[in-house]
Structure 1
Amino acid sequence: MLTLHTAPLLRTAPDAPATAGTAVVVRADRIVAVGPLAELTGTYAGARSRRWPGTLGPGLVHDGPLPAADTPRERVYALLRLGVTAVLAGHLTDPALRAAVERNDLLVLPAAVPPTLVAGGRADLAVHDADGTCLVTVVAGRIAHRRA
């Protein structure tokens, strides 16, 4: 199933300018297209539409120890609430924590790589409000966190 993700502003990389009138099309765990909303709406007319408030962009890479919590699952969820979709392998020495990360489909990277939204890339997205609060985290094409 195709999903068209749109927001008032879209940023294709952490340091890229936010632009209006753009969107991301996702199928399963991959980005199909990134481009002008009007063009993508026409090309993918049958796609389900998800309209988010805030700025849509790539999921974040967490470069540090995972937040403290009672269980590995809660530690991973704390990251999802921030818009994180990837963690560095060096911070996953505990097998239970690594298993929780893998169960939630977060990427495990050997080194920090700036995330980007590109056709063919993995569908890891985050939507942040103007104050930086994460509203939605999409990991491998599925909604993993949604602020109530």
Structure 2
Amino acid sequence: MRTLHAAALLRTGPDAEAVLDGAVLVEGARIVAVGPTDELLSAYPGVRVRRWAGTLGPALVHDGPLPPAPTPRERVHALFRLGAAAVPAGRLTDPGLRAAAARNGVAVADAARPPALVVGGRADLAVFGDDGGCLATVVAGRLVHRRA
């Protein structure tokens, strides 16, 4: 199923200019299109739409120790609450943590490559509010975190 994630502001990369009223079309685990919301709605009528209050952009690569939590699964979900969908391989040395990350779709990233929203790329998205807090995280096209 295709889902259009739309927001008042869209950034396709960490240093990219913000685009007003932008959207990312996701099908399965991949990005199908990126552009103005109106254009994508016209091109893909009937698509499911998720409108987010905040800035939509690529999910983060978490390059620090994973947040503490009682279980590996909870540590992975703590990443999602931060807006992260990837970690460098060196941060997943514990077998239980590595397994939890794999089960939840966390990408093992090359720390040298910044995250970006590109057509054909993996649909790892995050929405951040004005306070800098993560409002939602999408990992490989699946909504894994939404702040109430």
| TM-score, with structure 1 as normaliser | 0.97
Instruction: Indicate the residue corresponding to 2:103 in structure 1.
Output: 103
| 1:44-90 Cα deviation digits (max 9, x unpaired) | 01210000100000000011111111111111111100000000100
SS in 2 for 1:81: helix
Contact 2:61–2:111 (Cα < 8 Å) also in 1? no
Counterpart of 1:86, as a letter, is A
Percent identity between matched residues is: 67
Give 4+ residue runs of structure 1 displaced > 4 Å after superposition: none
Instruction: Indicate the residue corresponding to 1:29 in structure 2.
Output: 29
SS in 2 for 1:74: helix
For 2:111 and 2:53, the matched residues in 1 are separated by 31
Higher mean C-alpha displacement, 78-87 vs 67-76: 67-76
For 1:110 and 1:13, the matched residues in 2 are separated by 16
| TM-score, with structure 2 as normaliser | 0.97
Structure 2 unmatched ranges of 5 or more: none
Instruction: Indicate the residue corresponding to 1:133 in structure 2.
Output: 133
Over the aligned positions, Cα root-mean-square deviation in angstroms equals 0.9
Instruction: Indicate the residue corresponding to 1:3 in structure 2.
Output: 3
By percentage of residues, which structure has more strand?
2
5 Å-filtered alignment, 1:1-148, equals: 1-148=1-148
Structure 1 unmatched ranges of 5 or more: none
Counterpart of 2:15, as a letter, is D
